[in-house]
Amino acid sequence: MPKVRRGRKAPPEGWELVEPTLQDLQAKMREAENEGHEGKRKTESLWPVFRLHHQRSRYIFDMYHRRKAISRELYDYCCKEGYADVALIAKWRKVGYEKLCCLRCIQPKDMNFGTMCICRVPKEKLQEDKIVECLHCGCRGCASGS
């Protein structure tokens, strides 16, 4: 059931600019959420959700921090409405985390040896021709640089 939002304020100026993309991504997210698990591995089933979550936050982040195409009010509004993940965006603004895939991959407590996910390892430090897909979100490498 959708959230009942009472006494909602009208969205700030410039909402028409971002609305179609956000609606589109939301529809895709709903599709990913309702998709069956058949033929997938246990870990694989959540990967599309993580990917869309990243994509949606990345869109807002680009619009506000990089291209400066939307106002502060609209940015705050999107974060509050749950279109963007504030914690993830906060990481993207730090050096070394510019391409971070998801927050689970940098959670050392989830790992056996208190490290970070395999997708955080730079390509040149990995074995040659080895393709890694991380267990949490299916990321194939989100280290900064190159």
Partner 1 sequence: MARQGWEDSEFPIVCETCLGPNPYVRMTKQKHGKECKICGRPFTIFQWCPGAGMRNKKTECCQTCAKVKNVCQTCVLDLEFGLPTQVRDTVLQTRDDVPRSNVNREFFVASVEGQLGNDSLINYAKADSTAREQLKRISRVEPYYKRNRPHICSFYVKGECKRGDECPYRHELPIDNDLSNQNIKDRYHGKNDPVAQRILNRTDRSRTLNTPEDKSITSLFLTGIEKDISEQDLRDFFYGFGEIKSINVVQKSKVAFINYATRAAAELAVSKTFNNLNIKGRTIRVQWGKARPQGPRSDLQAGIDGSGSSSYAAPMGGPPAPPSIDDLINMPPPPPPPGQGSFSYPSQDPTALGTVGGREFRA
- Distance, CA of 121 to CA of 60 (rounded, Å): 26
- Using rule CB under 8 A, residue 131 touches partner 1: yes
Q: What is the closest distance, in whole angstroms, from the C-beta atom of residue 36 to partner 1 in the complex?
A: 16
- Using rule CB under 8 A, residue 146 touches partner 1: no
Q: Which is nearer to partner 1, 20 or 36 (CB)?
A: 36
* Residues from 86 through 125 that contact partner 1 (CB under 8 A): 112-113
- Distance, CA of 48 to CA of 31 (rounded, Å): 10
DSSP secondary structure, 16-62, as one string = HHHHHHHHHHHHHHHHHHH---TTS-TGGGGHHHHHHHHHHHHHHHI
Radius of gyration of the chain measured on its C-alpha atoms: 17
- Using rule CB under 8 A, residue 133 touches partner 1: yes
- Using rule CB under 8 A, residue 127 touches partner 1: yes
Q: Which is nearer to partner 1, 40 or 93 (CB)?
A: 40
| Residues near partner 1 (CB under 8 A) | 39, 112-113, 127, 131-133
